Each structure stands twice: as structure tokens, then as C-alpha cells.
Copies of this chain bind each other. A is one copy, B any other.
Amino acid sequence: MDEEFRKDFAELLALMDAGNPAEFKKKAADCLPVDIAEGLEEIEEDARVIKLFRMLPKDISSDVFSYMNSDQQQLIAESATNAELKALVDDMFLDDTVDFLEEMPANVVKKVLRNADESTRKLINQFLNYPENSAGSLMTIEYVDLHDYFTVRKAMDHIRRTGIDKETVYTCYVIDEQRRLVGHVSLRKLIIAPESTYIRDIMDTNTVSAMTTDDQEAIAEDFRRYDLTSIPVTDKENRLVGIITIDDILDVIQDENTEDIKKMAAIIPSDEKYMDTGVMHLVTHRLPWLMIMMLSATFSSTIITHFESVLAGAVALTAFIPMLTGSAGNSGSQTSVTVIRNMSLGEVELSDWLSVLWKEVRVAVVTGTALAVVNFLRMVIFSGTTVMVSLTVSITLMLAIVLSAAVGCLLPMGAKRLGLDPAVMASPMITTIVDCCALLIYFMIAGAMLGL
């Protein structure tokens, strides 16, 4: 909440407490709904939340409601009369109603459904059944549909009459007698076209559309690629059933990015907001990968135990284990994160695997050599280790960097090839694998060079 609005909101509260509903409504109408919803979140007392919400002008209260958090939505829904609840749901866009209901307990859902008229109830039930993250679950039914035999005049009348309740009127979708999507026409084109023109003669038939079952990530990619602000959604028979607007796509993009980032940090993604999430919920999303990686580290312990005699022969070698595994891990993360991100942006395809591997290996040879040279000089000059030990550590470093880059490149691509999520193959998984490889190389080179 920015400073300016904080002052506005304090004034709103003061007007409410002073019992001045007329001034309150005037002030509230000057505020943006999302700001009011955020102001409400900071009120602790339930009774005050309800009081303020009830005083809001009718034309913004449903907007404010769609921006509120689920706890406060539940509070309002439970305290509302049946008539109030019906008015609220009638006024909201269907996609916002569905988002709200998805978070509500059964009693609230029942109360809402009981008070909705039959067609709305049917639609809500249908929308609640679309799989999560599908086009069906994102779309709304508030769109403008025009028949291809309409004239521009008739189309403009239609928009003027019904447009006020639609989520967008700027792209209208054109359907035939069977409600099949046949094209689209922008409002810009309509206001410029002569009134007697037929829609079918000015519509654009090159319409990018989605199916109800499409995944939201692919749809977000279409918005970005084709610079869309809305997309029509059709069923299997190509009948128009809804549209998705760009405001929901912005949220999808951020959510998908958050999900990828979490997976790359070995966290099982969840949709919960951090500040509202309980400790045990966080534990269940973090412990599994930590446990798996801890248990996999058994391999590195086994390797060290197996080569105990080498370490006993040159105690100095132990001191460089964290540096070696750390550097290899970091280099592996750099590669894996680069590959994963580029695959998810569509910049790198599976078929590019050989050229990506070749590029990564060359990068690793250069960085590995630079690191090895600096490390050798540092060890000889500052640590006072023998030349042979310094050489052992430096050669291992160089080889471990190259190997970890190869692993960091091939593992995510292999995962994708197998239809798994490449993001899971990021830093922590790579680190665990690379640790073992680095140790094996270390002991073999030490054995050979130091004769242990």
C-alpha cells in the first residue's frame, strides 16, 4: 500500500467511524478497488471489516470483493443475507466467482449456490469441474459474441446494449449458427467500418484460440507470442464457450515462474501465500527433497571411506574437499539453470542437445582452466602445499568443472526427453550427483599422482 493511499484509507475509516455514509461513499468511489481490498486486509477487527464493506457503493463492492483475501471473503459471505449474496455473485465476473468459491468451505459454497439462479448455478458447477491450470478454469463467460450475418450497425447496437457487463468488448468473437468460432473483429475496426458492412466481410479469420483442456502455460505463451489481450476458448466441437483475458495471464506467468524457481531450489511448489502458510505446511514441501539428497550423500561417504588410505597418506587433501565439491556444484548449477530456463522459454529445443552440450563443455574448459590456474598459484604461494598436492587439486578442479557442466546440461534435457519436469533437475540434484563424481576424480588422480 503506498503512502498516498494509506492517508486516503485512514480518511475512509474516519468517515465510517463518524457515521457519515454520504461522504464515505463519495471518498470510496474515488479509490481503486484493489487498494481498498488491501486496506481491508490491515483491519484486524472482523466487525469493522464487515461494516466498511457494507458501506461501499454498490457498483464497486463486487470489484473490491474479488480482490479480497479468502479469509475476509469468507467473513463477508457468511455474514451476508441471501439477497446480498445473490446481488454480489450476480455482479461479479464468473471467473472471479469461481476463484472465490474454490477457496471456500462447503457451507459457504452451498449458501452461494442456493442463492444463485439456476443457469448461474449450472455454470459455476461446470467451471469448478475444469482441471486446475486448464483454460477452462481460467476462462470467463462475459464476452461479446457476434453472428457473422450481423451488420456493423447491429453489432454496435449489440455491444452498446450488452457490453457494459462484459469483461472486454475490444475483441469480439464471431460465431456461426452452431455457435462455432469462425473469426474475430476488433472494436477499432467496427467503429471505423461503414454501418451497413457485414461482419463476415470485415472479420479476421486468422483467430488464435485455445481449447478448454489446454494448459495455462501454453496459453500464456500464445499471449506473449501473438501480443494478444484476450483469447477465445472453444470446446471439442470448436464451439465458443468462453474467453481468457490478459489480466489473468499476468498472474499465470508469475505463478509459473514462481513454481519453476521453487522446483529449482528443491522445494515442492504450492499455491499458498508465504505469509499465510503454516510451519508444518512448509516442512512438508521442503523435507522430501532434503531427505532424498541427504540419503544420496551416502554415496559420497562411501567413496571417502573407501579411499581412506589415500586421505591418510596426504592429510592436506581433506582440506580441499569442500572447495572442490562446492565449485563443481556451482558450475553445474550455472549450466543446469541456464538450460532449464532456456527450454522453458522455448529458446532451446531438445533437438539442440548436441550443440548445447558442445557449447557448455567449451565454456567449462575455459572457466575450469582459469579456476585451476588461480587455485594452483594460491595453493603454492599462500597455503604452502607441495607442488604435487597443488597440482592434484587443480587438475581435479578443472576436470570436475567440465564434468559438472556436462551433467548440468544432460540431466535436465534427459528429464525432458523422458517427459519429466526438467526444473527438478536443477542445482540441488546436480550438486549431489556432482559431489560423488568430483570425489572419485579426486581420489583417482591423487592415487596416480601421489602414488598413494
Residues of A at the B interface (CB closer than 8 Å) are 30-32, 34, 156, 159-160, 163-164, 169-170, 187-188, 191-192, 206, 208, 223-227, 229, 246-247, 249-251, 253-254, 257-258, 260-262, 264-267, 273-275, 279-280, 282-283, 286-287, 289-291, 293-295, 297-298, 300-302, 304-305, 308, 311-312, 315-316, 318-323, 325-327, 329-331, 333-334, 337-338, 341-342, 345, 347-348, 352, 355, 359, 362-363, 366-367, 370-371, 374-375, 378, 382-383, 397, 401, 427-428, 431-432, 435, 439
Q: Is the CB of A160 within 8 A of B367?
A: no
Please pick, from B283, B320, B325, the residue contacting A363 in the complex, using a CB distance under 8 A.
B283
The quantity of this chain's copies bound in the complex is 2
Residues A326 and B291 in contact in the complex (CB < 8 Å), given A267-B337, A273-B347, A319-B304: no
With both beta carbons as reference points, the residue of chain B lying nearest to A428 in the complex is identified as B330
Given A224-B254, A312-B315, list of 10 further CB < 8 A pairs?
A34-B226, A262-B337, A265-B334, A267-B334, A275-B348, A282-B363, A293-B327, A293-B330, A297-B327, A301-B320
- In the complex, what distance in Å separates the CA atom of A428 from the CA atom of B264? 13
With both beta carbons as reference points, the residue of chain B lying nearest to A305 in the complex is identified as B319
**Which A-B residue pairs are the 5 nearest by beta carbons?**
A297-B323, A265-B337, A227-B247, A304-B319, A300-B322
**Can you name 24 A-B residue pairings with CB atoms under 8 Å?**
A32-B206, A163-B188, A163-B192, A170-B170, A224-B250, A258-B341, A261-B261, A265-B337, A266-B334, A267-B334, A286-B363, A286-B367, A290-B367, A293-B327, A294-B374, A295-B374, A297-B323, A297-B326, A300-B322, A304-B318, A321-B322, A322-B325, A326-B431, A329-B329
- A371 contacts which chain B residues (CB < 8 A)? 287, 290-291, 294
Residues A275 and B333 in contact in the complex (CB < 8 Å), given A225-B34, A439-B322: no
Q: Is the CB of A321 within 8 A of B323?
A: no
- In the complex, what distance in Å separates the CA atom of A383 from the CA atom of B191? 79
- In the complex, what distance in Å separates the CA atom of A208 from the CA atom of B226? 26
A352 to chain B, nearest CB (A): 7
Please pick, from B266, B301, B397, B435, the residue contacting A383 in the complex, using a CB distance under 8 A.
B301
A61 to chain B, nearest CB (A): 17
Q: Which of A223, A265, A304 has the most CB of B within 10 A?
A: A265
